[in-house]
Structure 1
Amino acid sequence: MPLARKSILKKIKKIVGPKGRLGKLLSGYETLQEAKFISSHFSEFLEPVVAQDPQTKQNSYNIRHKVYCEELAFEEPNEQRLENDEFDEFSIPCLIKHKTTSNYAGTVRLVRPTQDSQQLPIEKYCLNSITHSDLSPSNFDRKEVCEISRLAVPKEFRKRQMDKYSGAALGVINESTYSEEELRCFPFIAIGLYFSAAAMVIHNQIKHTYVMMEPRLARSMSFVGIQFEQIGPVVDYHGKRAPYYINPALLNANLRPSFRVMLNNIQAQIEKNE
């Protein structure tokens, strides 16, 4: 919403009061305009992609190699510059594409076991960290559980970074490639990736979703209404991580209206391309 219009609405609301009929109508209008802005701004520059062919999957693995092997050194680098593991055999990679350049702005995967022998990463490496026994993935049928993991956003699409290229300390991003207007929506890349994974969860009617992540990332997601439930303590696993749980009911109960529009649009785009 333009700042001038937002300022006028704020003054009118102050005069009429927030609890009156007109005040409530203005609040509803502001929420609707915010929702349209967030969703349209994201979709103007970015689009979700579900990796359904080998080349797109390799693009996902390459982003993961850049982030997890080259930058963070969580995994050993390799000559192919592809980071993948045993879980990718039963995973669905999702990516966010930057429309202007056709470069990929980030990736995440949905690990979806279908056989009794297939475990989630959280079960194999961090099962002891789950102390909420009622929500342990072992309680549910394999086809009812999934895990969101390997979220990665390459350096050139991050607003703040500690990398050594010129201008990075000041938050500079490759201005010769990405315009100032486009940079405004880049903080939504991580949200878009989670929404892409959520869209796949809903599309495939999966009941229980797990994530192993930093508490500060969980707090960031809660600002937009993606309210993960922490089901265990913080442990040292590639840094400070904790196990989290969410299901479609929890997502729908807490999601802010402005971001619900964004999720609905991402769902529609993913289902259109399925």
Structure 2
Amino acid sequence: MISEKHSFDSCFEVFFADTPESKRIHYNLRYQVYCDELGYEDKENFPEQMEFDEWDPHAVHFIVRQRYSGQWLGALRLVYQNQASFPFEAKCVPEHRISARQYQQSIEISRLCVLREARRFAPRAFQPCDMGAEQIVKGNGNGNVRYLHTIKNQSRSIMWGLYRAAVIYSARNDIKRWYILVTPSLAHAVKKEGFEMHQVGKACDYRGQRIPYVLDVEHILANSLWQKDYRADYRKYSDLLAQSAAKRYMA
């Protein structure tokens, strides 16, 4: 069992972006990753530094922040079908036709992103989550090696936290299936945690190799990963604003 002070729930929190401000945070996180870091999207198309596309009006959005600093570190969206189509279908054709009922009970997971800035925060397996990376390096002779080897784990931890929020939302909204278009390496990481992924089409070339899969929401909920950590619910961003307003009023 993960120590409570090192858990995702104690170090991070996930929010449902239900206000214009929180959606801007989401779009800016995507801009930082997809435009600044990876160069997947042209910066000139997003002069306000918010990356979005035609699917966002048909999506719900999540963002995650570090509890102690309040810094926003990652994002994810859940896209509903639009006119019997999902985003992944523009890049690869499903092997089997998606029925009208399946469209109504499914979403596509996309735009998962975690900032490089997330590596500033201590890997949960070794240090308290409020200790910075500099302290890890200075405090241990091999801290730098430890830190570099756990950067990926830190990003994966944030990814699992976002997936957990997405599956809770899905269960509450009668969503039965997830479609997802991912790299082979990410698919391997998901499968390694015991999640069943069923390939629904041939691999395609989209920013490198991508493979379409479908996952069952009920099966995701039953995974033992959620018994170890990631047990906190997501919050609405509007509730965060209300809480902040109440604190100012009481001050």
Pairwise same-fold verdict (TM > 0.5): yes
Q: Distance in 1 between matches of 2:171 and 2:59?
A: 15
1:85 is matched with 53
Q: Which amino acid aligns with 2:133?
A: E
Give 1:84 deviation, angstroms: 0.3
Over aligned residues, Cα RMSD in angstroms?
A: 3.2
| CA drift at 1:203 | 1.5
Distance 2:212 2:108 in 1: 11
Describe how 1:155-166 pairs up with structure 2 within 5 A.
155-158=116-119
Which of 184, 187, 195 in structure 1 is aligned with 2:164?
Answer: 195
Higher relative contact order (CA 8 A, sep 6+): 2
Which residue does 1:140 correspond to in 2? 101
Q: Which runs of 5+ in 1 are unaligned?
A: 1-33, 160-173
The match for 2:133 is: 175
Identity among equivalent positions (%) equals 26
Output the TM-score relative to the length of structure 2. 0.74
Match of 2:245 in 1: none
Alpha-carbon distance in 1 for matches of 2:92, 2:17: 28
Residue 55 of structure 2 aligns to which amino acid in structure 1? F
Within 5 Å, give how 1:96-115 maps onto structure 2: 96-113=64-81
Deviation at 1:40, TM superposition (A): 6.2
Give yes or no for contact 1:191–1:221 (8 Å, CA) kept in 2.
Answer: no
Name the amino acid aligned to 1:61: Y
Change (3 A) 1:86 1:149: same
Matched, 1:262 2:229: yes
Change in 2 beyond 3 A, CA 1:141/1:232? closer
Q: Measured at CA, do residues 243 and 187 of structure 1 come closer, stay the same or move farther in structure 2, by a change above 3 Å?
A: closer
Q: Show the 5 A alignment for 1:1-80.
A: 34=1, 37=3, 41-77=7-43, 78-80=46-48
Report the structure, 1 or 2, having the larger helix content.
Answer: 1
TM-score by length of 1: 0.69
**Matches of 2:236 and 2:71, distance apart in 1:** 22
Aligned residues: 216
Cα displacement string for residues 110-167 of structure 1 (whole angstroms, at most 9, x for unaligned residues): 0123x6x2631112x1242x22x1xx434535421200000011111148xxxxxxxx
Q: Is the 8 A contact 2:177 2:215 kept in 1?
A: yes
SS at match of 2:3: helix
Q: Following the alignment from structure 1 to structure 2, what is the Cα–Cα distance between the partners of residues 39 and 144?
A: 37
- Give yes or no for contact 2:199–2:212 (8 Å, CA) kept in 1: yes
The equivalent residue for 1:126 is 91
Equivalent residue, structure 1, for 2:210: 241
